[in-house]
Amino acid sequence: MINQVTIDNIDGVKELQSIFNVVFKQKDELMRTLTANPYVKMYTYSVNEKVVGFIEYSRIYDRYELDNIYVLEEYRNKGIASCLISFMIEMAQKDNIKNITLEVRIDNNIALTLYEKYGFVKKAIRHNYYGDCDGILMEKEMM
């Protein structure tokens, strides 16, 4: 099940902390992001009420930027990230979004395969974008 994370329901989302610990966000930081930027959207994916997946994207005028997607290790390869990406693409269609962009490490083959499966194409290499590794800018045209 996919649920939106908002300031109002953040305390009610069970086990949110388990995933945010790995994804980097402590609750304070998360609250700040949600308060300061209404264009940031965060959704969780739950199995039996346990939060096991997370997606974060931002709307910037007529495009989306995928900021983060994460699935707990023991729940990987079960189609959860695919559900979250499909969901984001549906939202983009409703919002008349022209394109979705993202950055991914050049050595993250799993994520690269996932994004390609959903129609993202490599647009540019960002040298040393991650310090120790190049980044790839990918884009999905929506129109």
Could you tell me which residues come within 8 angstroms of residue 7 by beta carbon, excluding any fewer than 6 positions away? Answer: 31, 34, 35
Interaction between residue 55 and ligand COA (CB under 6 A): no
Look at the chain and count its residues.
Answer: 143
For residue 123, what is the enclosing H or E element? Answer: strand 121-126
Residues marked as catalytic: 103, 115
Letters for 97-116 (x = contact with ligand COA by CB under 6 A, - = none) are -------x---x-xx-xx--
88, 119 Cβ separation under 8 angstroms: no
Q: Is 77 in the site for ligand COA (CB under 6 A)?
A: yes
Main-chain dihedrals φ then ψ at residue 88, nearest 5 degrees: -60, -40
| Residue 74 Cβ vs ligand COA, minimum distance, rounded to whole Å | 10
Residue 67 CB neighbours (<10 A): 15
Nearer to ligand COA, 13 or 55 (CB): 55
Judged by CB under 6 A, the residue of 17, 79, 124, 141 near ligand COA is: 79
Phi, psi of 21 (to 5 degrees): -60, -40
Nearer to ligand COA, 100 or 104 (CB): 104
Query: Toward ligand COA, which CB reaches closer, 30 or 81?
Result: 81
Helix (H, G, I), strand (E, B) or coil at 83: helix
Contact status: 128 vs ligand COA (CB under 6 A): no
Write out the residues near ligand COA by the rule CB under 6 A. 69-71, 76-82, 104, 108, 110-111, 113-114, 117
